[in-house]
Amino acid sequence: MSTSRSDTIEEAGRRLLDLMEQGHGAALSTNTRSRLFAALTRAYAADWHAGVPPFPPGTATTDEVVVTAAEMLRACDVTSFELAAMFDV
């Protein structure tokens, strides 16, 4: 029985998630964590129109989301004007 690439990726993702939820996330180097975060961000952005939130409610705190979002915006040099335009404010 052959394993498809998507099955392999799903299994690897679940194993990584299990380890991180057990508190082993610090074992990732900054470089690996950054690359993984960027890859997951691209994957989410490619399918955001499906209406599925980026994570289940209650799985990240408001502070975690705000800090992460602010740093993501800074890393991409998004201006407040661009941000307002995206929200059609």
Check whether 1 has a pLDDT greater than 70: no
Burial class (CB in 10 A: 0-12, 13-18, 19+), 44: middle
Q: Where are the domains of the chain?
A: 1-54, 57-89
pLDDT in tens, 16-31: 999 999 999 888 999 9
Cα-Cα-Cα-Cα torsion 33, 29, 63, 83, nearest 10 degrees, comes to -40
pLDDT at 12: 94
**What is the model's pTM?**
0.74
Kindly list the distances between the CA atom of residue 7 and the CA atoms of 14, 61, 88, in Å, as whole numbers in the listed order: 11, 30, 39
How many angstroms separate the CA atoms of 70 and 61, rounded? 14
Mean pLDDT of 62-76: 93
